[in-house]
Amino acid sequence: MTETTKNWLNFIGGDWVDATDKIEVYDPATDEIFATIAQANTNDVERAVVAARTCVNSGVLTDCRPVKRAELMSRIADEIRNVVDKAAPLLARENGKSLNDAREEFLIAARYFDYYGGMADKIEGKSIPLGEDYIDFTYYEPVGISAQIVPWNFPVDICARSLAPALAAGNAVIVKSPEITPLAMTWLATACKRAGLPDGALSLLCGPGREVGNALVSHPDINQIVFTGSVPTGQSILKAAAEHAIPSVMELGGKSAAVAFPDADMNQLLDSVRWGIFFNAGQVCSAMSRLLVHRDIYEEVVAKVAEMGKGLSIGSGMDNAEVTPVVSRQQQQQILRICDRAVSEGARLVTGGQAPADLKGYFIEPTVFADVTPDMNLFTEEVFGPVLAITPFDTEEEAWALANGTDFGLVAGVFTHDLTRAIRASRALRAGQVFVNEWYAGGVETPFGGLGLSGFGREKGQEALYSYVNTKNVAIRVTGPSK
């Protein structure tokens, strides 16, 4: 396959596989279909599971010295970096994101393979003292087949985030790619194949979630599920997982809040707001979708955020505009409906709230609502678009209560130069990750995941690798019965 290919294929057991049915892929900046991908079906799921089981049973990834897996991971990282120039424009085109961000996404994907490759030969067990009659130790076994369901907002990054630790631990992986943005991810399979990943260790299927995704997570021969996506889909997958008692990692939605105090550095705050809610057109599960501001600086912050939003360029990702289109017409219409409802509920629309009249694609103006109160839907409902809800507060306790006032618990942030208050915030805020003075601070090395409806389990960081192994304990009696 090349970057000019118009019909893309599934990757099953080491082969590229076509299908009679096709899924059409749109360019969100122009509302035009520009490519298709073979639509996988339940037979393809079966074929992928058989290939994965054959790979697992062969021991090809587990019988070798672990350093061989580390070397393989490093080669995959290199091959990903080799395809960036060809693959990033495809990601920008299918998702709508900026070309710079698409390039960065591939580089992060490569970084996951380097990072977890570095752990592949360090998955060490423990020796547990039980007295002189025993030797007891643990070791980690790969789970077997990891089924991974990926969403459309960061398909390459999120795919690599779970694929890399799973392979580093010696598992076979079957990925179900998102129907809306399935193309760029195929370059990850290309990189794996070029690096010499054994057949069956990775299959990549694109098909409807309810048919192909469901068949995969319900399959009796898979051993683990990693899901990143919406809450209702996560809940339905958990029911399927319960059927076979399959362990799962759930990365679901969020409605995360930043809390700004009067001693916050205004430039730092504005930079974080821009990045936190307008990056990737706000389609980030850990977006700063709420901003809670102390009343002493409330009107100043509202005015400055609105001015910043109005000043951002809106346009195609291929031109590296600051605000790019959302992924689909359906998303665009849903976001506009949420904005209309917020107005009718009494929120103050400070800027945006519309689709720009002169652009054909799925654009939404950078949108800022002020005076959003906890009883409004906008306060609790995930928008997944470039829409910020601002709320005033008077006391620190009130700020924590407002921040924690949703069923989600993904990330949270605090903007202050009072270190003691920042530490209090880190304890009081109900979230898997707390940012201080920089939204999205962290990286491949830092554990990520939620509480409540945001899900459970952690991705990223060393901790994540241990979701892809089972602990086995071995207890050996070394002396005869006492006389």
- Residues 117, 142, 253, 353: which binds ligand NAD (CB under 6 A)? 253
Q: State the catalytic residue, choosing from 94, 285, 339, 396.
A: 285
Closest CA to 287 of 183, 385, 390, 431: 385
Q: Is 196 exposed, middle or buried (0-12, 13-18, 19+ CB in 10 A)?
A: exposed
Binding piece for ligand NAD, criterion CB under 6 A, among 99-107, 213-221, 304-312, 424-432: 213-221
- Residues 120, 217, 273, 399: which binds ligand NAD (CB under 6 A)? 217
Nearer to ligand NAD, 324 or 351 (CB): 324
CB 206 within 8 A of CB 182: yes
229 binds ligand NAD, rule: CB under 6 A: yes
CB of 350 to ligand NAD, least distance (A): 24
Contacts of 16 (CB under 8 A, 6+ apart): 1, 9, 10
237 binds ligand NAD, rule: CB under 6 A: yes
Cα–Cα distance for residue pair 331/275, rounded to 1 Å: 20
Nearer to ligand NAD, 115 or 384 (CB): 384
151 binds ligand NAD, rule: CB under 6 A: yes
Size of the residue set binding ligand NAD (CB under 6 A): 27
Binding piece for ligand NAD, criterion CB under 6 A, among 149-157, 264-272, 299-307, 350-358: 149-157
User: CA Rg, the chain, in Å?
Assistant: 24
Nearer to ligand NAD, 369 or 384 (CB): 384
Active site residue 285: yes
- Residues 162, 214, 224, 367: which binds ligand NAD (CB under 6 A)? 214
CB 242 within 8 A of CB 398: no
Binding piece for ligand NAD, criterion CB under 6 A, among 163-171, 248-256, 272-280, 347-355: 248-256
94 binds ligand NAD, rule: CB under 6 A: no
- Residues 285, 302, 314, 326: which binds ligand NAD (CB under 6 A)? 285
Nearer to ligand NAD, 302 or 326 (CB): 326
Q: State the catalytic residue, choosing from 251, 365, 396, 459.
A: 251
230 binds ligand NAD, rule: CB under 6 A: yes
Strands (E) across 353-446 are located at: 367-370, 387-393, 411-415, 433-436
> In this structure, how many other beta carbons lie within 10 angstroms of the beta carbon of residue 39?
22
Nearer to ligand NAD, 199 or 251 (CB): 251
Two structure tokens written together for 231: 């809450």
Active site residue 55: no
204 binds ligand NAD, rule: CB under 6 A: no
Residue bearing tokens 């290199």: 78
- Residues 27, 105, 251, 365: which binds ligand NAD (CB under 6 A)? 251
Going across the sheet that includes 433-436, the strands are: 348-351, 367-370, 387-393, 288-294, 256-260, 411-415, 433-436
433 binds ligand NAD, rule: CB under 6 A: no
CB 64 within 8 A of CB 35: no
Question: Which of the 8 DSSP states describes residue 222?
Answer: -
Phi, psi of 470 (to 5 degrees): -110, 140
Nearer to ligand NAD, 211 or 398 (CB): 211
Two structure tokens written together for 188: 């990850």
CB of 455 to ligand NAD, least distance (A): 6
155 binds ligand NAD, rule: CB under 6 A: no
CB of 22 to ligand NAD, least distance (A): 16
152 binds ligand NAD, rule: CB under 6 A: yes
Nearer to ligand NAD, 116 or 393 (CB): 116
> In this structure, how many other beta carbons lie within 10 angstroms of the beta carbon of residue 147?
28
CB 407 within 8 A of CB 372: no
101 binds ligand NAD, rule: CB under 6 A: no
178 binds ligand NAD, rule: CB under 6 A: yes
CB of 284 to ligand NAD, least distance (A): 7
| Secondary structure (3-state) at 108 | helix
- Residues 144, 213, 325, 361: which binds ligand NAD (CB under 6 A)? 213
DSSP-assigned beta bridge partners for residue 257:
290, 412
CB 453 within 8 A of CB 407: yes
| Secondary structure (3-state) at 183 | coil
Closest CA to 413 of 397, 427, 426, 424: 426
- Residues 44, 79, 101, 382: which binds ligand NAD (CB under 6 A)? 382
Two structure tokens written together for 15: 């082969």
| Angle at alpha carbon of residue 465, lines to 251 and 73, rounded to 5° | 110
Binding piece for ligand NAD, criterion CB under 6 A, among 2-10, 135-143, 176-184, 428-436: 176-184
Query: In the chain, how many H helices and how many E strands?
Result: 14, 20
Cα–Cα distance for residue pair 348/362, rounded to 1 Å: 24
How far CA 72 is from CA of 59, 184, 200, 366, in Å, comes to: 15, 21, 15, 43
252 binds ligand NAD, rule: CB under 6 A: yes
- Residues forming the active site: 251, 285
Which residues of the chain form contacts with ligand NAD (CB under 6 A)? Answer: 149-153, 158, 176, 178-179, 209-210, 213-214, 217, 228-230, 233, 236-237, 251-254, 285, 382, 384
